[in-house]
Amino acid sequence: DAGVIQSPRHEVTEMGQEVTLRCKPISGHDYLFWYRQTMMRGLELLIYFNNNVPIDDSGMPEDRFSAKMPNASFSTLKIQPSEPRDSAVYFCASSGYDSGGYGYTFGSGTRLTVV
């Protein structure tokens, strides 16, 4: 398996623009998580899905952030409009019964810079 695939790896955008991050989880995993990591706040859970259904979105900072999972093999995290304080590394992770005792497998991350 190719692991969790995220795109793009790097994104530089201007304030006010829309940003869409993409994630393909490991096939067969039924949990998908979106995290944001910064030096100041560490790893923050934004939202997670179980069987494509959002379970907990309490970590989504504000209405500018939205996430979808239209099917088991694809999820998006959208920021509209983007702001400089959104600059961070965004990780997608997936989990299932085969993943090391239910631990996560992380994607390589998307480094977002909003200027």
Partner 1 sequence: QKEVEQNSGPLSVPEGAIASLNCTYSDRGSQSFFWYRQYSGKSPELIMFIYSNGDKEDGRFTAQLNKASQYVSLLIRDSQPSDSATYLCAVNNPDRGSTLGRLYFGRGTQLTVWP
Q: What are phi and psi of 104, to 5 degrees?
A: -85, 155
- Nearer Cβ to partner 1, position 30 or 76? 30
Least Cβ distance, residue 54 to partner 1 (angstroms): 12
Rule CB under 8 A: which of 10-69 touch partner 1? 30-31, 33, 42-43, 45, 48, 50, 55-56
Q: Which of 49, 61, 54 is nearest to 25 (CA)?
A: 49
Contacts with partner 1: how many residues (CB under 8 A)?
A: 24
Q: Which is nearer to partner 1, 81 or 89 (CB)?
A: 89
SS3 state at 8: coil
**Euclidean distance between CA atoms 41 and 24, whole angstroms:** 25
